Amino acid sequence: MPRTVEAHFEGAGSVHVPAGTTLLEAARRAGVAVDAVCAGLGTCGRCRVQASGALSAPSEEEVAALGEAAIEAGWRLACRARALGDVSVLAASSSGEPHTVLRGELGLPWEPDFPASAGGLGLALDLGTTTLAAALVDLRTGDVLSTASAINPQHPWGADVLSRIAAVRRDGLDVLRRPLVEQAEALAEEAVQRAGAEVRAVSQLVAVGNTAMRGFFLGQDVTPLGAAPYEGVPPEPVQTVASTLGLRTLDAAAVYVPPCASVFVGADAIAGLVAARFASGGTPRLFVDLGTNAEIVLWTGSRLLATSAAAGPALEGAGLSSGMRAVPGAVEDVRYEDGALRLDTIGSLPPVGLCGSGALSLTAALLEAGAVAPDGRLADSPPPPARIVDRDDQRVLVLEDDGPVTFTQKDVRAIQLAKGAVQAAIGVLLAEAGLEASAVKEVLVAGGFGRRLEGRVLARLGVIPTAWADRVRVVGNAALDGARAVLVSSAARAEAERLASVIEPIDLAAHSGFRDAFVGALGFPEP
């Protein structure tokens, strides 16, 4: 039997693990959130912890990612440092920003009609790959009484669903499902407490998410989504009760989970379309949900075509050197004006990081200033107050003198990959529909990237054609708005099921033109 050692996490207790276990695995077992965007492959450098005790010698990856000074100060990569004996972890670089919900902008264009007793409450739940968000709703009026959100607790197993599916193959479904369900229940309790209500008053729950997150929540086998032909996870709507899903405090609350259109177009996208009353009228429109898994739907006036693109977490501020969620202190907008960069932060607080809209607008501003070349190379002379410094043999752009916000060449590449995937996917949908870009009159952009994303930024980066810059409407968390609509309206629920049945999904992995389109979309437009 292998020798066990104790890993103590400051403020979170201790866990006993076999000697040689990585600190990342120990943190997972202890329920401690440590960023691991790359799922523990040692490539992202985000799982930094300050640790002491009987640890393995620093690896080459740790020295390269952290630098010798940080190593001497006790900082390690949790995915590489192993507990050879008892260890103590004093600090961890988790995603513990304040939990605020990015609200939707679409409102409730559906009339509530489900019977509800006086004081009857419902919970709308958005199971995002990066963030979970909940809204407590008055079932009679559809009014939002309170909200709550948190980082998806599965992120120690990777920022993307494929990494998490690989972890399911290795460790079993329950290892990743249990923290998800527990966090969903905690959000329900938090939202109820904020509204001064009681959990037993919640009689209805609607949960939406992409095909994988929906499968995790329902306890379905998600492993078929990890490899072609990506089939085997049931897309049909589900009606059950909370207790069967392990939501113990919600107990007998009725649960409805809307359908997916395909393995590539999940219930979250369907909910967003419902909230937008998207497939109405004869004018072509585009819906883009920017996230780790970007879902894109084109309404031609008579057909609905949809696909998803693996954009990565950068569009939600994750995986970047100073990336963070759209919460107070995050840089949400950057402009190049009068030869200098002008920054706006959420809450007008001192900048502490970049949310998705901040990272995208910063890239656009640096392109305008000539500080990023069309091929993505970061120049030596950015506009003030930014400057280039050398840190651990890497060129790093510091956004303000001695400030904490940085932007690296690796960050620019992450933006290129994300924007290239979305841009190419849009092009494929237009080609499949036989539509010219000029035919699209409105572009709805949803997601958790921030509040200040503008059409001019997306056009400058090349995500959308220049002509669409003034046709963009940012709608925030459309999935949560749609979940609320389905929660209170039988007509909205019927529309969700209708949309899922008529959408024509397009698999980009099998599309002959996507790879070339993606490669061609990696560069930024010339000035």
Ordered alpha helix ranges (H), 318-476: 356-369, 409-433, 455-461
Give the DSSP per-residue string, 77-122. ETTT-EEEEEEEEEEE------------SS---S---S---TT-EE
Is the per-residue pLDDT at 31 higher than 80?
no
Sequence letter at residue 241: V
For 65, the domain range is 4-92
Is the per-residue pLDDT at 98 higher than 60?
no
Last residue of one domain, picked from the residues 48, 72, 92: 92
pLDDT at residue number 336: 96
> Please, what is the end-to-end C-alpha distance for the chain in angstroms?
65
> Higher-confidence residue: 403 or 486?
486
In order of 40, 79, 132, 160, 226, the CA distances from 166 in angstroms are: 12, 16, 21, 10, 7
Residue 265 lies in a domain: no
Enter the tokens of residue 89.
């972890």
Give the other-Cβ count within 10 Å of 138's Cβ: 18
Average pLDDT over residues 370-398: 89
Residue 205 lies in a domain: no
Is the per-residue pLDDT at 28 higher than 50?
yes
Residue 206 lies in a domain: no
pLDDT at residue number 101: 47
The lowest-confidence range among 139-143, 199-203, 261-265, 446-450 is 446-450
Residue 372 lies in a domain: yes
CATH of the domain at 12: 3.10.20.30
Sequence letter at residue 441: K
Distance between CA atoms of residues 76 and 5, nearest Å: 18
Distance between CA atoms of residues 473 and 454, nearest Å: 8
H/E stretch holding 354 reads: strand 353-354
- Say if CB 346 and CB 332 are below 8 A apart: yes
Give CA 264 to chain center in angstroms: 16
Average pLDDT over residues 157-185: 93
Mean pLDDT score of the chain: 89
Give the other-Cβ count within 10 Å of 8's Cβ: 17
pLDDT at residue number 464: 95
3-state per-residue secondary structure call for 296-349: EEEECCCCEEEEEEECCHHHHCCCCCCECCCCCCEEEEEEEECCEEEEEEHHHC
Sequence letter at residue 153: P
Residue 177 lies in a domain: no
Percentage of the chain beyond pLDDT 90 is 60
Last residue of one domain, picked from the residues 391, 408, 425: 408
pLDDT at residue number 95: 44
pLDDT single digits (tens) 85-94: 999 887 555 4
Average pLDDT over residues 71-89: 88
> Higher-confidence residue: 115 or 191?
191
pLDDT at residue number 94: 46
Percentage of the chain beyond pLDDT 70 is 93
Is the per-residue pLDDT at 284 higher than 80?
yes
Is the per-residue pLDDT at 103 higher than 60?
no
What is the count of structural domains for the chain?
A: 2
The lowest-confidence range among 60-74, 195-209, 399-413 is 60-74
pLDDT at residue number 105: 66
Distance between CA atoms of residues 273 and 288, nearest Å: 10
Residue 81 lies in a domain: yes
pLDDT at residue number 61: 81
pLDDT at residue number 119: 57
pLDDT at residue number 70: 77
Residue 74 lies in a domain: yes
pLDDT single digits (tens) 497-515: 999 999 999 999 889 999 9
Last residue of one domain, picked from the residues 64, 92, 120: 92
Distance between CA atoms of residues 376 and 418, nearest Å: 13
pLDDT single digits (tens) 298-346: 999 999 999 999 888 788 777 788 888 777 888 999 999 999 999 999 8
Residue 256 lies in a domain: no
- Say if CB 302 and CB 282 are below 8 A apart: yes
pLDDT single digits (tens) 438-456: 999 999 999 876 567 899 9
